Amino acid sequence: MAFLNRVCPGCTENTRQESVKPPVSAMDSEWDAISKGWSGLYNQRMFFPYCRCDGCGMLYNPTYFNADQLDELYRSMAPNMAEAVDPAILQQTQKGYVDLVAQELQGDGGYLEIGPDIGTFAVACSDVTVFSHYWFVEPNEAVWSSLHAAFPGQATSIESSLSSIEKIPDRSLKLAVAIHVLDHIIDPLDTLRLISRKLANGGIFLAVTHDERSMLARVLGKNWPAYCLQHPHLFNTKTIAQMFTQADYRLVGVRKTSNVFPAGFLVRQGVWAGLGKKIPPLGVLENLNLKLRLGNIAAVARYVEA
């Protein structure tokens, strides 16, 4: 198979050292096996080798899927998290993200979110401030009706590709959001620069990503779930800050975040990941919600005109 050869997405440096060797390398696998390992948790861990850039320290896959391969794989995505966990529980995690930006928002402007799913975070944001227009980039057209329904009577535009961001008027956005998205995008630096043109002076960008330097990542090693086929690179507090700065944002801060999940869901996911077996709901544990730090970070950055 003809995979893509990449330089560092953080600084375009082309020298690196291998850092995380996969138990099963996608480079040596058949397409049927890759398709099976693409979505969900499996006991056979497969991904591309991760290397660390000699220039900026970014952890990334020098070899990765090309655009056509990614299109095929994303079309076969498994059900999203909102179908696996009660949306009311997911809202608790989203509320924590809203708290990170609520005091930073200023002035008038629109809202952009890449990968909003059913719009849980956008709805939570609308409870604390007003936006003139909601712009969503969501490849999964199955949730478009839910997004429209979440904002009745409000100006809302939904597109499927990142290139559609060009349609947004320059300097018109108050807030841009990417929750567990930047670690999926092949060219994250270019995306940050594109969005900076759309943000108004003082506009905010919120990005939530995995933290490859987290304690959970260190403990689990190559079995950390974020090492997977869907992540061509992974950030830490330093590399995400560097990328925003390189894209001409002013960093407000980077902090660890917490997630809320039912205990039963976490146990079932652990069994699936470790043994490759799905088990039924676990009674009372499904109603016991836990707030945990699961190795994620949130970066908040502001666009300020030079």
Whichever domain contains 282, its CATH number is 3.40.50.150
What confidence tens digit (pLDDT) does each residue in 82-125 have?
445 666 666 767 788 899 999 999 899 999 999 998 899 999 99
Residue 79 has pLDDT above 50, yes or no: no
What is the pLDDT, as a whole number, of residue 76? 65
Please report whether residue 42 resides in a domain. no
How many angstroms separate the CA atoms of 281 and 21, rounded? 34
Q: Which helix (H) or strand (E) holds 248?
A: none
Please report whether residue 27 resides in a domain. no
The answer to whether 189 and 9 have CB atoms below 8 angstroms apart is yes
How many angstroms separate the CA atoms of 273 and 270, rounded? 5
Q: In whole angstroms, what separates CA 152 from the centre of its chain?
A: 26
Could you tell me where the beta strands, DSSP code E, fall in 160-240?
A: 173-179, 199-210, 233-234
Please report whether residue 103 resides in a domain. yes
Tell me the one-letter amino acid at 74: Y
* Residue 210: closest CA among 295, 84, 99: 295
Cα angle 11-14-17, degrees, rounded to a multiple of 5: 105
Residue 36 has pLDDT above 90, yes or no: no
Higher model confidence: residue 88 or residue 255? 255
Torsion 66-239-252-118 (CA) sign: positive
Please report whether residue 87 resides in a domain. yes
Q: What's the N-to-C CA distance of the chain in angstroms?
A: 45
The answer to whether 113 and 177 have CB atoms below 8 angstroms apart is yes
Segment 244-269 shows an average pLDDT of 83
Domain total of the chain: 1
Show the domain range for 253: 83-302
How many angstroms separate the CA atoms of 84 and 28, rounded? 32
pTM greater than the 0.85 cutoff: yes
Mean pLDDT for the chain? Answer: 88
What is the pLDDT, as a whole number, of residue 273? 60
Confidence category of residue 41, pLDDT binned at 50, 70, 90 = low
Segment 170-188 shows an average pLDDT of 97
| CB-count exposure of residue 301 (10 Å: 0-12, 13-18, 19+) | buried
The answer to whether 155 and 184 have CB atoms below 8 angstroms apart is no
Confidence category of residue 274, pLDDT binned at 50, 70, 90 = low
How many angstroms separate the CA atoms of 47 and 212, rounded? 15
Tokens of 236: 């830490």
Please report whether residue 10 resides in a domain. no
Please report whether residue 258 resides in a domain. yes
How many angstroms separate the CA atoms of 71 and 162, rounded? 13
Tell me the one-letter amino acid at 227: Y
Lowest-pLDDT range of 35-39, 47-51, 64-68, 79-83: 79-83
What is the pLDDT, as a whole number, of residue 283? 76
Q: Which helix (H) or strand (E) holds 88?
A: helix 87-101
